[in-house]
Amino acid sequence: MTTSSQSVRDALLDRAVQAQLHAYAPYSGFHVGAAILADNGEISAGCNVENVAYPLGQCAEATAIGNMVTGGGNSIKHIVIASPNDDFCYPCGGCRQKIKEFAGPDTVVELLNQKGKTRTVSVEELLPFAFTL
């Protein structure tokens, strides 16, 4: 990894999986966890939180970003997103924009499947031609 030490990366992977265990997903059964290393060195995690009114549900990435901001973080150095199956769980379109809001040029987006396999992508790869002001 380019933005964090191996032990910090291990902690991020662990926190994403731990958050996944707390996902509230009674409607989809799709449990996702995310963990962020912020510019202030803090790790914030989040899980998806569904609602019976489906559009009100919140993705794990959004929960983690909200927790990062609440903890005083201003930007994402590294985010891990843990999938509940063998496929990588790429962020939805809305979350790509939310990640972009707090991303820097070197932000690492790492995807983790349930077998422990990872893939790293850049924010530019996830959201080319991003909307900005």
Q: Name the active-site residue from 42, 61, 101, 125.
A: 61
In whole angstroms, what separates CA 15 from the centre of its chain? 11
* Minimum gap (Å) between residue 126 Cβ and Zn ion: 11
For residues 111 and 99, is the Cβ–Cβ distance under 8 A? Answer: no
Q: Of 6 and 29, which has the nearer Cβ to Zn ion?
A: 29
Number of chain residues interacting with Zn ion (CB under 5 A): 3
Residue 18 backbone phi and psi in degrees, to 5: -65, -40
Binding positions for Zn ion, 3-62, rule CB under 5 A: 59
* Minimum gap (Å) between residue 93 Cβ and Zn ion: 8
Q: Of 57 and 122, which has the nearer Cβ to Zn ion?
A: 57
* Minimum gap (Å) between residue 5 Cβ and Zn ion: 28
Q: Of 21 and 92, which has the nearer Cβ to Zn ion?
A: 92
3-class DSSP assignment, residue 71: coil
Handedness of CA 121, 80, 88, 55 (dihedral sign): negative
Q: Identify whether 50 is a catalytic site residue.
A: no
Element (H, E) at 98: helix 93-101
8 vs 1: CA distance, rounded Å:
10
* Binding-site string for Zn ion from residue 81 to residue 110, where x marks contact by CB under 5 A and - marks none: -----------x--x---------------
For residues 53 and 26, is the Cβ–Cβ distance under 8 A? Answer: no
Instruction: Just list the catalytic residues.
Output: 61
Interacting residues toward Zn ion by CB under 5 A: 59, 92, 95
